[in-house]
A and B are shown apart, each in its own frame.
Chain A
């Protein structure tokens, strides 16, 4: 009988221990997780203009010939190559630069610059090109009529037209033949508190992603410290992507 009581005590103790562990895990883990992704926004909360997503790319760290960011983008967003480079979509590309006068060379990834004043949004007749409150420039695939005026207007050739049927689409990155598309800053990842795929893939840590409006973010601190450049800054578009080393 006493033996039985001991057994029950043991079971009870084990049950309590495990329950507590599960409970603690259940309560604390999301907190820890959320802490890690403190900038993530609850799904039921509207995108806010308090945040402005941006990026700093250090071309000094960007290795010539490395295209891990490009590959990561293609994999993440389901951009399958068809073998026709002239019509394949490229949301991010590696560009090699050589100063005509000095001969200095540089390498950098070029993607949608997520302008604060995007020309693609200005010219779009239907409003399919739009800018989210948090600065991410996107295309609404349902109202894009495929006129390609945004591609004419983009100063960075950041947009691609889907020239043929698309296969193996990712549910979070819908594409459509006959519509225009471009880098989304991996909005599906950003909304979960993660960085864009290209940033995560860059082993040189040449790309830093974050909230330009948060003075404490790594990005804001870097932008305050280092000298950075906007490509075609003369157009005064207030870019979300800044470059270092060019």
Chain B
């Protein structure tokens, strides 16, 4: 097969400049919000002593989970040897790093002491999965950076398969670490589950691919490069499979909880009585984020890039809703400290914890997304991340423009 040709985008169109300006404004707003929160203290946010992780964490965890998933396309090419995906591998690696950086920036800027980042880098408690994650996140950036170099430097290309394998294994461990942040919370009724790690891995497949599809399609449409049906159809089928897989894991998660009486309270809260969290789960995640995209992706008539892009957008919306349910819904349900008792106190014991997302939190989260996208937008202009063409004949070595004609030619 031909070596895929990647080229920088020209990056001087009004649309590109506008995109950079919008992203820049969002980043500035996010930084301003972080400065405000840091200066005033977290009482200006919706977070409290009961809801200790809020909207910034929804964005941050979503971005970190999506980051590892965004690398899938590169893994399918390098690890599983699917040549069709080879031209997409550089963008896949770039997006993975960018999303991770975006998520980490949000996470760090939400700390009570972002100024003590150096402390987090020099003091480690190795019993903490958080401490391990610091290594896993930094290591991921380093591993993917090396992998990208091997991919893009033709002389070193032979080693890219090995690096791709390392990156693939690393990303699985990384998402295991992210899921285990919640899985290891022994006292919390909604989190203390081993399934959290595999659930997060499968969510990363879905949310990461959705982000990848959006970035790829927008970049191709924006730079007016050909996007063939073969790639679109591959993306369509892959996203369908991943969305279904997440639904399966979510179903198992809730079914297991529903079987155990001690978890009936939290399950009734999330699935039935939780107000905004119940709506987020059923309407946000299940209907808008899963069933609707599944329907759109599997409409008769084959792959249409616009429908795949819309579906990917819906999966992202559903993913954010799911993160909201997991992170905030899980904390909103009153912590069971005295099983079998009705409890009340001055510290919100026994009541559903109120949480109202504040503008600074939202801006910080959005700023992280904008930062990730700005990294991609800038990188594709200065380095050769984007293939010149994803037209069918360029990606598929066995592509026949017109099967009937080809068959006739063979017979003749």
Q: Which chain B residues border A51 with CB–CB below 8 Å?
A: none
Q: Which of A8-67 contact B (CB under 8 A)?
A: none
With known contacts A163-B42, A164-B43, A101–B348 Cβ distance under 8 A: no
Q: Which chain A residues border B345 with CB–CB below 8 Å?
A: 93-96, 110
Q: How many residues of A contact B (CB 8 A)?
A: 57
Q: Which chain A residues border B348 with CB–CB below 8 Å?
A: 86
A-B contact number at CB 8 A: 168
Q: Which chain B residues border A82 with CB–CB below 8 Å?
A: 43
Q: Say whether B112 contacts A177, CB under 8 Å.
A: yes
Q: Given the complex of chains A and B, what is the CA–CA distance between A122 and B314 in angstroms?
A: 38
Minimum CB distance partner of B340 in chain A: A100
- B-contact 0/1 string along A99-141, CB 8 Å cutoff: 1110000000010000000010111111110000000000000
Q: Which chain B residues border A90 with CB–CB below 8 Å?
A: 49, 346-347
Interface of chain B, helix or strand or loop or mixed?
Answer: loop
- B-contact 0/1 string along A138-165, CB 8 Å cutoff: 0000011111110111111101111111
Minimum CB distance partner of B181 in chain A: A149
With known contacts A85-B346, A125-B131, A155–B49 Cβ distance under 8 A: no
Q: Say whether A127 contacts B123, CB under 8 Å.
A: yes
Q: Say whether A100 contacts B342, CB under 8 Å.
A: yes
With known contacts A94-B345, A110-B345, A125–B125 Cβ distance under 8 A: yes
Minimum CB distance partner of B342 in chain A: A98
Q: Which chain A residues border B49 with CB–CB below 8 Å?
A: 86-90, 151, 157, 159-161, 163
- B-contact 0/1 string along A227-245, CB 8 Å cutoff: 0000110010000000000
With known contacts A87-B43, A93-B345, A161-B52, A149–B128 Cβ distance under 8 A: yes
A178 sits at the interface (CB 8 A): yes
Interface of chain A, helix or strand or loop or mixed?
Answer: loop
With known contacts A126-B125, A143-B116, A84–B337 Cβ distance under 8 A: no
With known contacts A90-B346, A152-B188, A165–B41 Cβ distance under 8 A: yes
Q: Say whether A235 contacts B186, CB under 8 Å.
A: yes
Q: Say whether B130 contacts A87, CB under 8 Å.
A: no
Which of B49, B123, B124, B340 neighbours the largest number of chain A CB atoms within 10 Å of its CB? B49
Q: Which chain B residues border A202 with CB–CB below 8 Å?
A: none
B50 sits at the interface (CB 8 A): yes
Q: Say whether A164 contacts B112, CB under 8 Å.
A: no
Query: Pick the contact of A147 from B50, B130, B186, B331 — CB < 8 Å?
Result: B130
Q: Given the complex of chains A and B, what is the CA–CA distance between A179 and B119 in angstroms?
A: 13
Q: Say whether B113 contacts A87, CB under 8 Å.
A: no
Q: Given the complex of chains A and B, what is the CA–CA distance between A125 and B53 in angstroms?
A: 16
B129 sits at the interface (CB 8 A): yes
The 3 closest A-B pairs by CB, nearest first: A146-B112, A178-B112, A155-B187
